Structure 1
Amino acid sequence: MSQGRLVVLAGPTAVGKGTVAEHIRAEYPQVWISVSATTRPPRPGEIDGLHYHFVDDETFERMARDGELLEWAVVHGRAKYGTPRVPVEKAIAAGQWPLLEIDLQGARQVRASMPEALFVFLAPPSWDELVRRLIGRGTESAEEREIRLTTARAELAAAEEFDVVLTNDNVKRVAADLVSLMGSPSVSSRNEP
Structure 2
Amino acid sequence: MELTNPRRGLLVILSSPSGAGKSTLARRLMDWDATLSFSVSATTRPPRPGEEHGREYYFHDKTAFQAMVADGAMLEHAHVFGNFYGSPMAPVEKAIEAGRDVLFDIDWQGAQQIRNSVLGLHTLSIFILPPSITELRRRLEARGQDDEETIAKRMQKSWDEISHWDGYDYVLVNDDLDATEAQLKTILTAERLRRAQQPGLKDHVRRLHQEFIEGQI
Q: TM-score band, normalised by the shorter chain?
A: 0.7 to 0.9
Map of 2:20 onto structure 1: 15
Aligned residues with identical type, % of pairs: 33
Give the structure-1-normalised TM-score.
0.75
Higher fraction of helix: 2
Matched to 2:137, the amino acid is: V
Q: Which of 82, 86, 90 is 1:86 aligned to?
A: 90
Map of 2:77 onto structure 1: 72
Question: Measured at CA, do residues 181 and 139 of structure 1 come closer, stay the same or move farther in structure 2, by a change above 3 Å?
Answer: same
Unaligned runs of 5+ in 1: none
For residue 49 of structure 1, report the CA deviation from its aligned partner: 7.9
Confirm whether residue 183 of structure 1 aligns to residue 189 of structure 2: yes
Alignment of 1:16-165 (within 5 A): 16-37=21-42, 39=45, 52-53=56-57, 59=61, 62-67=64-69, 68-74=73-79, 81-113=85-117, 114-116=119-121, 117-165=123-171
The one-character-per-residue Cα deviations of 1:140-183 (angstroms, maximum 9, x if unpaired) are 33333222222210111111111100122233332332232122
Distance in 1 separating the partners of 2:146 and 2:64: 28
Distance in 2 separating the partners of 1:154 and 1:69: 25
Q: How many matched pairs?
A: 183
Question: Measured at CA, do residues 65 and 173 of structure 1 come closer, stay the same or move farther in structure 2, by a change above 3 Å?
Answer: farther
Unaligned runs of 5+ in 2: 196-217
Question: Measured at CA, do residues 90 and 186 of structure 1 come closer, stay the same or move farther in structure 2, by a change above 3 Å?
Answer: closer
Q: CA RMSD in A?
A: 3.3
Q: Which of 5, 13, 25 is 2:10 aligned to?
A: 5
Map of 1:166 onto structure 2: 172
Distance in 2 separating the partners of 1:104 and 1:79: 19
* CA radius of gyration, larger in: 2
Distance in 1 separating the partners of 2:143 and 2:38: 23
Matched position secondary structure for 2:116: helix
Give the structure-2-normalised TM-score.
0.68
Distance in 1 separating the partners of 2:54 and 2:83: 18
Matched to 1:112, the amino acid is: N
